[in-house]
Amino acid sequence: MTSVKMSSIEWPAIVKLTQNDELLYLEHQRDWLELACLYQHHFIDTDQLLDSKGRRYLISACPQKIHEDPVGELPRLVRQKQDLSLNEFIKWVQNHAQALGQCCVAKLAFTTISQGIEIVRTLDE
């Protein structure tokens, strides 16, 4: 598993933090860079980014060394061999909706990953 280039990620995407049911919606690459800068020392190696094609990336937190160049501290995205299944993503979105206090989350369904990401965006508005 190696780091990926930002150009290989299909935006929008979401971030799933291991210890939280809420999902973080990322419209563009710049949203990822902003989150990565702000949250760089708080990611754990099981946090994930999911792109619009269902490709899953682990967020590999960098060692907490002091660098003169803060960009050296940004976490890397490591492509996983197995994409996230639609059924698993539906559960993520249902848990996210429930964490936001939405009702009837069991009825929440969609047929593509990109539709699910769009639902996350609308739930966050």
* Helices 113-123, 86-99: crossing angle, 10 deg rounding: 10
Task: Quote helix, strand, coil % in the chain, to nearest 5.
Answer: 35, 20, 45
In the chain, the percentage of residues whose pLDDT exceeds 90 is 65
Per the structure block, which two tokens stand in for 2?
A: 């190696």
Q: Can you give the pLDDT at residue 87? A: 96
pLDDT confidence of residue 34: 94
Please provide the average confidence, as pLDDT, over all residues in the chain: 88
Residue 69's pLDDT is: 55
DSSP string, 65-121: ---SSGGGGSPEEEE-SSPPPHHHHHHHHHHHHHHTT-S-GGG---SSHHHHHHHHH
H/E stretch holding 2 reads none
Cα(1)–Cα(56) distance, integer angstroms: 12
Q: 124 has which bridge partners? A: none
pLDDT, one tens digit per residue, over 33-77 is 999 988 887 899 899 999 999 999 999 876 555 555 555 568 889
